[in-house]
Amino acid sequence: MNIEAGIEKTETGKITTDQSAHVPTIKGNFEAQENEYEYWVTDIEGKVPGDLTGSFFRNGPGRLKLGGEEFGHWFDGDGMIARTTFTDGKVHFANKFIRTPKYVDETAAGKPLYRGFGGAPKGNFFKRFAPPANPANTGLVLHGGKFLALNEGGRPFSVDPATLDTYGEFTYDDSLTKTNVFSAHGKINPKTGYYYNFGLCFDIGLKGIKPGFELYKIDPKGQMVDRARFTLDHMPLLHDFALTENYAIFIQSSVSMQGNILMTMLKNESFADLMLYDNSLTNKIVIIDIHNMKLVERIEIDPIACLHFGNAYEKNGEIHFDLMQTKESGFGTPDHKMEPLDLFSDDVKFRSGAARYKRCVLNLKTRQFQSEFIDDALEGEFPQWDWTRTTSENRYAVSTGYAGDGQTYFNAIQKIDRKTGKVEVHEFGSYRFNGEPLMVAKPDSDAEDDFYCVCYVYNGNTDKSEVVVIDSKNFSEPLATVKLDFHIPQGFHGMYSQKVFV
Ligand SMILES: [Fe+2]
């Protein structure tokens, strides 16, 4: 027993908790996994290819309830890293919570203590007025010798990629102060080794509070070597950006934090209620030169909602970038609040936030902006590409998808040919729900359509999770299904390292 955290560990990976979900289930995908495991997985259907080498990390809320009390929002679940390592056809799995102050203190207390994105624990009036605690639950990056767990509401946490132990909050040698935040969607240019990330900020002046964001540049050794602040016309949901060889591209979208923050805190409501789609707001593409860190252009566009970007690159003097355009119904409006997200209902209605894959082209000289959906793509989210091609033209992308009518959570991944618009779909089948797929380039192939796709899948028929490996050349069939002895709750974002961490 880990006394500090109160978490029971097993070496064998055998279940020690009460897996009481009634199967088949979808809501089991959002139930806590309090145990931390580390073992060689032997229950594998199919064959893990011998040339698939490395560690597939994913971050996500490992628990959404504590002491019987639900956290206020999905985004408040404590970050837990799941790691699946492939080496010589064998598979090793480990998972561990990130020891944030929130996790450590709340584990010791046996109940939620801190305010989150979704409100403060009931009964503690004064906690309402604190900023949301950082659960470090959204993404991961391995750069400059540091492995960081990320959440856009705070600073990163440094973690050992081998042991998954938490070192503590990471500040880039005090460059990130207590008021700085650092997003979960930084990008590394593989040609230069530079890592770019951003965080929202506020400038307080005579005319009041001016929202904006700060762009950070980190060199290949992990030193923050430059940063710059940019103002925004309103406080958009700025969750991700696109990176080319020369530019960082942000969208000031129609989804914006509106309303009275103080009243929201006073009523102990969720900040999610303030994120509203308002098509009267000005939408702009904001382009920044990443070499001199200066603003290049702000180009007004039609109203749009988007959370995630795909890859981006420059070609023939134009900037190409992909994004997932979220349906307006994925957000509330100034006249209509969105239904609260209830992850513990029997059917976990999540599809309102579905998005469609879109290609965008921007000509900086003419300021012309064009975009088109990939018509045959499924609704979905979490666009991904081969990260070795970040800032270079990529033909293929993948994302999650909803296959079939009436699906309320991702049950498929799709492979998108950006050149022809052809879409191939891998359906996981009845009561199997997946997270973000990652593309892993095959080591001995330069061909673009020759990669593995790896993905965590929750099997609601067994209430256990699986790691599925798919070959791009036979996308509809799994190569291997690695079956874990327990479930890992639905996560957000991950990364793949060619290094083997065990
Ligand atoms: Fe994200």
Question: How do residues 409-431 score in pLDDT, each as one tens digit?
Answer: 899 999 999 999 999 999 999 99
Q: Tell how far the Cα of 448 is from the centroid of ligand 1, in angstroms.
A: 25
Q: Tell how far the Cα of 425 is from the centroid of ligand 1, in angstroms.
A: 22
Q: Give the pLDDT confidence score for residue 21 in this predicted structure.
A: 65
Strand pairing category for 139-143 and 275-277: unpaired
Q: Tell how far the Cα of 125 is from the centroid of ligand 1, in angstroms.
A: 31
Q: Give the pLDDT confidence score for residue 154 in this predicted structure.
A: 97
What pTM value is reported for the model? 0.94
* Element holding 114 (H helix, E strand): none
If you average pLDDT over residues 198-218, what whole number do you get?
Answer: 89
Asked if residue 53 lies in contact with residue 500, where contact means CB atoms within 8 angstroms, the answer is yes
Q: Tell how far the Cα of 494 is from the centroid of ligand 1, in angstroms.
A: 10
Q: Tell how far the Cα of 366 is from the centroid of ligand 1, in angstroms.
A: 31
Q: Tell how far the Cα of 113 is from the centroid of ligand 1, in angstroms.
A: 25
Q: Tell how far the Cα of 381 is from the centroid of ligand 1, in angstroms.
A: 9
If you average pLDDT over residues 50-55, what whole number do you get?
Answer: 97
Asked if residue 360 lies in contact with residue 370, where contact means CB atoms within 8 angstroms, the answer is yes
Q: Give the pLDDT confidence score for residue 7 in this predicted structure.
A: 38
Q: Tell how far the Cα of 200 is from the centroid of ligand 1, in angstroms.
A: 15
pLDDT, one tens digit per residue, over 166-206 is: 999 999 999 999 999 999 999 999 999 999 999 999 887 77
Strand partners, 355: 326, 380
Task: Answer yes or no: is pLDDT of 17 > 90.
Answer: no
| Residue 20: band (very low, low, confident or very high) from pLDDT cuts 50, 70, 90 | low
460 three-class SS:
coil
Q: Tell how far the Cα of 139 is from the centroid of ligand 1, in angstroms.
A: 7
pLDDT, one tens digit per residue, over 95-150 is: 999 999 999 999 999 999 999 999 888 887 888 888 899 999 999 999 999 999 99
φ, ψ at 325 (rounded to 5°): -85, 115
Q: How far apart are CA 203 and CA 231, in angstroms?
A: 8
Q: Tell how far the Cα of 183 is from the centroid of ligand 1, in angstroms.
A: 9
Q: Tell how far the Cα of 469 is from the centroid of ligand 1, in angstroms.
A: 22
* Virtual torsion, Cα 341, 344, 348, 350, nearest 10 deg: 20
Q: Tell how far the Cα of 312 is from the centroid of ligand 1, in angstroms.
A: 17
Percent of the chain with pLDDT over 90: 78
Task: Answer yes or no: is pLDDT of 11 > 80.
Answer: no
| Residue 2: band (very low, low, confident or very high) from pLDDT cuts 50, 70, 90 | very low
- Helices of type H across 162-266: 261-266
Q: Tell how far the Cα of 184 is from the centroid of ligand 1, in angstroms.
A: 7
Q: Tell how far the Cα of 239 is from the centroid of ligand 1, in angstroms.
A: 6
Q: How far apart are CA 75 and CA 155, in angstroms?
A: 15
| Residue 10: band (very low, low, confident or very high) from pLDDT cuts 50, 70, 90 | very low
Q: Tell how far the Cα of 8 is from the centroid of ligand 1, in angstroms.
A: 30
pLDDT, one tens digit per residue, over 441-458 is: 999 998 999 999 999 999
Range in 257-266, 329-338, 373-382, 460-469 with the lowest mean pLDDT:
329-338
Asked if residue 239 lies in contact with residue 252, where contact means CB atoms within 8 angstroms, the answer is no
Q: Tell how far the Cα of 365 is from the centroid of ligand 1, in angstroms.
A: 31
Q: Give the pLDDT confidence score for residue 338 in this predicted structure.
A: 75
Q: How far apart are CA 341 and CA 190, in angstroms?
A: 37
Q: Tell how far the Cα of 326 is from the centroid of ligand 1, in angstroms.
A: 13
Cis amide bond preceding 334, omega within 30: no
Q: Tell how far the Cα of 138 is from the centroid of ligand 1, in angstroms.
A: 7
Q: Tell how far the Cα of 414 is from the centroid of ligand 1, in angstroms.
A: 18
Q: Tell how far the Cα of 92 is from the centroid of ligand 1, in angstroms.
A: 26
Q: Tell how far the Cα of 20 is from the centroid of ligand 1, in angstroms.
A: 30
Return the structure tokens found at 46.
């199919």
Q: Tell how far the Cα of 89 is from the centroid of ligand 1, in angstroms.
A: 31
Q: Tell how far the Cα of 479 is from the centroid of ligand 1, in angstroms.
A: 27
Task: Answer yes or no: is pLDDT of 6 > 70.
Answer: no
Q: Tell how far the Cα of 478 is from the centroid of ligand 1, in angstroms.
A: 26
Q: Tell how far the Cα of 383 is from the centroid of ligand 1, in angstroms.
A: 10
Q: Tell how far the Cα of 238 is from the centroid of ligand 1, in angstroms.
A: 10
Q: Tell how far the Cα of 16 is from the centroid of ligand 1, in angstroms.
A: 32
If you average pLDDT over residues 241-249, what whole number do you get?
Answer: 98
Q: Give the pLDDT confidence score for residue 16 in this predicted structure.
A: 40
Q: Tell how far the Cα of 491 is from the centroid of ligand 1, in angstroms.
A: 10
67 three-class SS:
coil
Task: Answer yes or no: is pLDDT of 50 > 80.
Answer: yes
Q: Mean pLDDT of all residues in the chain?
A: 92
Strand partners, 324: 357
198-203 contacts at long range (C-beta below 8 A, 24 or more positions apart): 198/238, 198/241, 198/248, 198/250, 199/152, 200/152, 200/235, 200/238, 201/229, 203/229, 203/231
Q: Tell how far the Cα of 492 is from the centroid of ligand 1, in angstroms.
A: 7
CB-side exposure of 489: number of CA atoms within 13 Å? 29
Q: Tell how far the Cα of 123 is from the centroid of ligand 1, in angstroms.
A: 31
pLDDT, one tens digit per residue, over 301-354 is: 999 999 999 999 999 999 999 999 998 878 888 888 777 677 777 777 666 678
